[in-house]
Protein backbone atom coordinates (compact mmCIF):
# COMPACT_ATOMS: atom_id res chain seq x y z
CA UNK A 1 0.00 0.00 0.00
CA UNK A 2 1.25 3.46 -0.94
CA UNK A 3 2.10 5.62 2.09
CA UNK A 4 1.50 9.38 2.31
CA UNK A 5 5.26 10.03 2.02
CA UNK A 6 5.43 7.82 -1.10
CA UNK A 7 2.55 9.77 -2.64
CA UNK A 8 4.26 13.07 -1.87
CA UNK A 9 7.49 11.80 -3.45
CA UNK A 10 5.64 10.92 -6.67
CA UNK A 11 3.90 14.30 -6.74
CA UNK A 12 7.23 16.06 -6.23
CA UNK A 13 8.84 13.99 -9.00
CA UNK A 14 6.08 15.07 -11.40
CA UNK A 15 6.50 18.68 -10.34
CA UNK A 16 10.28 18.70 -10.79
CA UNK A 17 10.01 17.08 -14.23
CA UNK A 18 7.35 19.62 -15.26
CA UNK A 19 9.56 22.50 -14.07
CA UNK A 20 12.50 21.18 -16.08
CA UNK A 21 10.33 20.90 -19.21
CA UNK A 22 9.04 24.45 -18.68
CA UNK A 23 12.54 25.91 -18.30
CA UNK A 24 13.72 24.09 -21.45
CA UNK A 25 11.08 25.69 -23.68
CA UNK A 26 12.54 29.21 -24.11
CA UNK A 27 15.82 27.80 -25.46
CA UNK A 28 13.98 25.17 -27.54
CA UNK A 29 15.61 22.31 -25.69
CA UNK A 30 13.75 19.10 -24.95
CA UNK A 31 13.13 18.01 -21.37
CA UNK A 32 14.98 14.78 -22.24
CA UNK A 33 18.12 16.87 -22.85
CA UNK A 34 18.32 17.38 -19.07
CA UNK A 35 19.23 14.42 -16.85
CA UNK A 36 17.47 14.55 -13.49
CA UNK A 37 19.67 13.04 -10.78
CA UNK A 38 17.57 12.21 -7.71
CA UNK A 39 19.93 12.80 -4.80
CA UNK A 40 19.19 9.95 -2.42
CA UNK A 41 22.01 10.58 0.10
CA UNK A 42 20.94 10.00 3.73
CA UNK A 43 17.64 8.45 2.57
CA UNK A 44 17.01 4.75 3.23
CA UNK A 45 16.12 2.27 0.50
CA UNK A 46 12.40 2.38 1.36
CA UNK A 47 12.31 6.08 0.47
CA UNK A 48 14.07 5.43 -2.84
CA UNK A 49 11.89 2.54 -4.06
CA UNK A 50 8.75 4.67 -4.79
CA UNK A 51 10.80 6.82 -7.19
CA UNK A 52 12.29 3.73 -8.84
CA UNK A 53 8.78 2.33 -9.26
CA UNK A 54 7.69 5.62 -10.82
CA UNK A 55 10.38 5.25 -13.48
CA UNK A 56 13.16 7.45 -12.07
CA UNK A 57 16.39 5.62 -12.85
CA UNK A 58 19.26 8.01 -12.11
CA UNK A 59 20.28 8.64 -8.51
CA UNK A 60 23.08 10.51 -6.78
CA UNK A 61 24.99 9.63 -3.63
CA UNK A 62 27.60 11.68 -1.78
CA UNK A 63 29.64 8.96 -0.15
CA UNK A 64 31.03 5.67 -1.38
CA UNK A 65 30.37 3.90 1.93
CA UNK A 66 26.72 4.92 2.15
CA UNK A 67 26.10 3.89 -1.46
CA UNK A 68 27.72 0.50 -0.79
CA UNK A 69 25.28 -0.11 2.06
CA UNK A 70 22.13 0.61 -0.01
CA UNK A 71 22.60 0.17 -3.72
CA UNK A 72 23.81 -3.38 -4.44
CA UNK A 73 20.47 -4.75 -3.21
CA UNK A 74 18.44 -2.03 -4.96
CA UNK A 75 20.27 -2.72 -8.21
CA UNK A 76 19.49 -6.41 -7.98
CA UNK A 77 15.82 -5.41 -8.12
CA UNK A 78 16.29 -2.52 -10.59
CA UNK A 79 19.29 -3.48 -12.75
CA UNK A 80 18.84 -0.50 -15.08
CA UNK A 81 19.26 2.03 -12.23
CA UNK A 82 22.26 4.34 -12.65
CA UNK A 83 24.31 5.70 -9.79
CA UNK A 84 26.20 9.01 -9.86
CA UNK A 85 28.80 10.02 -7.27
CA UNK A 86 28.19 13.70 -6.60
CA UNK A 87 30.25 14.20 -3.41
CA UNK A 88 33.96 14.69 -2.84
CA UNK A 89 36.03 11.61 -3.56
CA UNK A 90 39.15 10.67 -1.62
CA UNK A 91 41.89 9.15 -3.74
CA UNK A 92 41.99 6.00 -1.57
CA UNK A 93 38.32 5.32 -2.44
CA UNK A 94 38.87 5.53 -6.22
CA UNK A 95 38.80 1.76 -6.75
CA UNK A 96 35.53 1.31 -4.84
CA UNK A 97 33.99 4.28 -6.64
CA UNK A 98 34.87 2.86 -10.06
CA UNK A 99 33.30 -0.49 -9.13
CA UNK A 100 30.06 1.05 -7.85
CA UNK A 101 29.27 4.23 -9.79
CA UNK A 102 28.28 4.82 -13.40
CA UNK A 103 29.33 8.49 -13.45
CA UNK A 104 31.59 10.55 -11.14
CA UNK A 105 30.94 14.30 -10.77
CA UNK A 106 33.85 15.30 -8.52
CA UNK A 107 37.13 14.77 -10.37
CA UNK A 108 39.05 17.87 -9.31
CA UNK A 109 42.81 17.20 -9.06
CA UNK A 110 45.63 15.35 -10.84
CA UNK A 111 46.27 12.98 -7.89
CA UNK A 112 42.64 11.77 -7.99
CA UNK A 113 42.78 11.48 -11.79
CA UNK A 114 45.84 9.20 -11.48
CA UNK A 115 44.05 6.90 -8.99
CA UNK A 116 40.84 6.81 -11.04
CA UNK A 117 42.73 5.94 -14.23
CA UNK A 118 44.56 3.15 -12.38
CA UNK A 119 41.28 1.84 -10.92
CA UNK A 120 39.55 1.94 -14.33
CA UNK A 121 42.43 0.04 -15.94
CA UNK A 122 42.21 -2.59 -13.20
CA UNK A 123 38.40 -2.90 -13.43
CA UNK A 124 38.41 -2.92 -17.24
CA UNK A 125 35.73 -0.23 -17.41
CA UNK A 126 35.79 3.49 -18.18
CA UNK A 127 33.56 5.60 -15.93
CA UNK A 128 32.58 9.02 -17.37
CA UNK A 129 33.71 11.88 -15.12
CA UNK A 130 32.72 15.49 -14.69
CA UNK A 131 35.54 17.82 -13.70
CA UNK A 132 34.46 19.84 -10.68
CA UNK A 133 35.40 23.51 -10.92
CA UNK A 134 35.86 25.73 -7.86
CA UNK A 135 33.67 28.34 -9.54
CA UNK A 136 33.54 30.75 -6.59
CA UNK A 137 37.24 30.42 -5.72
CA UNK A 138 36.36 29.25 -2.20
CA UNK A 139 39.23 27.89 -0.10
CA UNK A 140 37.04 25.45 1.85
CA UNK A 141 35.45 23.88 -1.22
CA UNK A 142 36.65 21.14 -3.51
CA UNK A 143 37.03 21.79 -7.19
CA UNK A 144 39.78 22.54 -9.67
CA UNK A 145 40.97 26.17 -9.56
CA UNK A 146 39.79 27.98 -12.70
CA UNK A 147 43.34 28.80 -13.81
CA UNK A 148 44.32 25.11 -13.69
CA UNK A 149 41.26 23.82 -15.56
CA UNK A 150 42.73 23.58 -19.12
CA UNK A 151 45.70 21.58 -17.81
CA UNK A 152 43.51 19.15 -15.84
CA UNK A 153 41.15 18.66 -18.80
CA UNK A 154 44.14 17.86 -21.02
CA UNK A 155 45.30 15.24 -18.49
CA UNK A 156 41.80 13.68 -18.32
CA UNK A 157 41.78 13.35 -22.10
CA UNK A 158 45.30 11.88 -22.11
CA UNK A 159 44.24 9.31 -19.50
CA UNK A 160 41.44 8.12 -21.80
CA UNK A 161 38.77 8.84 -19.19
CA UNK A 162 35.42 9.78 -20.78
CA UNK A 163 34.96 13.49 -20.07
CA UNK A 164 31.28 14.00 -19.24
CA UNK A 165 31.55 17.75 -18.68
CA UNK A 166 32.08 20.32 -15.94
CA UNK A 167 30.40 20.47 -12.54
CA UNK A 168 30.09 23.29 -10.02
CA UNK A 169 28.59 24.30 -6.67
CA UNK A 170 28.06 28.09 -6.54
CA UNK A 171 28.87 29.80 -3.23
CA UNK A 172 25.92 29.40 -0.87
CA UNK A 173 23.82 32.46 -0.16
CA UNK A 174 24.68 34.09 -3.49
CA UNK A 175 22.75 34.49 -6.74
CA UNK A 176 23.75 31.33 -8.67
CA UNK A 177 23.01 32.53 -12.23
CA UNK A 178 26.36 34.30 -12.87
CA UNK A 179 28.25 31.20 -11.70
CA UNK A 180 26.17 28.89 -13.91
CA UNK A 181 26.73 31.20 -16.87
CA UNK A 182 30.46 31.27 -16.14
CA UNK A 183 30.62 27.45 -16.00
CA UNK A 184 28.81 27.30 -19.36
CA UNK A 185 31.40 29.71 -20.81
CA UNK A 186 34.30 27.66 -19.40
CA UNK A 187 32.78 24.52 -20.95
CA UNK A 188 32.42 26.21 -24.33
CA UNK A 189 35.95 27.66 -24.23
CA UNK A 190 37.39 24.21 -23.42
CA UNK A 191 35.31 22.18 -25.89
CA UNK A 192 33.30 20.39 -23.19
CA UNK A 193 29.61 19.56 -23.61
CA UNK A 194 28.06 18.51 -20.29
CA UNK A 195 27.13 20.84 -17.43
CA UNK A 196 26.32 19.35 -14.03
CA UNK A 197 24.87 22.29 -12.13
CA UNK A 198 21.79 23.17 -10.13
CA UNK A 199 20.26 21.67 -6.99
CA UNK A 200 16.83 21.83 -5.36
CA UNK A 201 16.92 25.59 -4.73
CA UNK A 202 18.23 26.64 -8.14
CA UNK A 203 17.82 23.82 -10.69
CA UNK A 204 15.33 25.86 -12.74
CA UNK A 205 17.89 28.65 -13.18
CA UNK A 206 20.53 26.05 -14.06
CA UNK A 207 18.32 24.49 -16.75
CA UNK A 208 17.66 27.94 -18.19
CA UNK A 209 21.44 28.48 -18.43
CA UNK A 210 22.18 25.18 -20.16
CA UNK A 211 22.50 22.47 -17.47
CA UNK A 212 22.65 18.96 -18.90
CA UNK A 213 22.45 17.38 -15.41
CA UNK A 214 20.68 18.69 -12.30
CA UNK A 215 21.21 17.20 -8.83
CA UNK A 216 17.92 17.39 -6.95
CA UNK A 217 17.39 16.00 -3.45
CA UNK A 218 15.17 18.01 -1.10
CA UNK A 219 12.68 18.97 -3.83
CA UNK A 220 12.08 15.23 -4.40
CA UNK A 221 12.52 13.61 -0.99
CA UNK A 222 11.63 16.48 1.34
CA UNK A 223 13.95 17.83 4.02
CA UNK A 224 16.61 15.41 5.25
CA UNK A 225 16.08 13.98 8.71
What pLDDT, on a 0 to 100 scale, did the predictor assign at position 147? Answer: 97
Q: How far is CA 77 from CA 35, 72, 80, 100, in A?
A: 22, 9, 9, 16
Q: What are 85-91's contacts with CB under 8 Å, separation 24+?
A: 85/60, 85/61, 86/37, 86/39, 86/41, 86/60, 86/61, 86/62, 86/196, 86/215, 87/41, 87/61, 87/62, 87/63, 88/62, 88/142, 89/64, 91/115
* pLDDT tens digits, 49-87: 999 999 999 999 999 999 999 999 999 999 999 999 999
**In 3D, which of 102, 82, 64, 59 has the Cα closest to residue 214?**
59
What pLDDT, on a 0 to 100 scale, did the predictor assign at position 1? Answer: 47
What pLDDT, on a 0 to 100 scale, did the predictor assign at position 139? Answer: 85
The boundaries of the domain holding residue 172 are 4-221
Give the E-state strand segments of 10-57 in sequence order: 35-39
Mean pLDDT for all residues in the chain: 95
* CATH number of the domain bearing residue 63: 3.20.20.10
Q: What total number of domains does the chain contain?
A: 1
What pLDDT, on a 0 to 100 scale, did the predictor assign at position 2? Answer: 56
How many CB atoms within 10 Å of residue 225?
8
What pLDDT, on a 0 to 100 scale, did the predictor assign at position 26? Answer: 92
Whether the per-residue pLDDT at 156 is higher than 60: the answer is yes
Burial label, 124 (beta-carbon count in 10 A; 0-12, 13-18, 19+): exposed
Q: How far apart are CA 53 and CA 50, in angstroms?
A: 5
Please state the rounded mean pLDDT for residues 198-206.
97
Whether the per-residue pLDDT at 136 is higher than 90: the answer is yes
SS3 35: strand
Please state the rounded mean pLDDT for residues 90-97.
97
* pLDDT tens digits, 8-62: 888 999 999 999 999 999 989 999 999 999 999 999 999 999 999 999 999 999 9
Please state the rounded mean pLDDT for residues 150-170.
97
Amino acid sequence: MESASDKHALERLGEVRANIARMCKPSRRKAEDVTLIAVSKTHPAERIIPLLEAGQRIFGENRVQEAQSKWPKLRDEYPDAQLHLIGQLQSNKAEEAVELFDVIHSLDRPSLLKELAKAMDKAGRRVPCFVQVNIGDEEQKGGCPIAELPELLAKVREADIPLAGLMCLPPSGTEPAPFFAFLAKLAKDNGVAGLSMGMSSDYETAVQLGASHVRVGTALFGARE
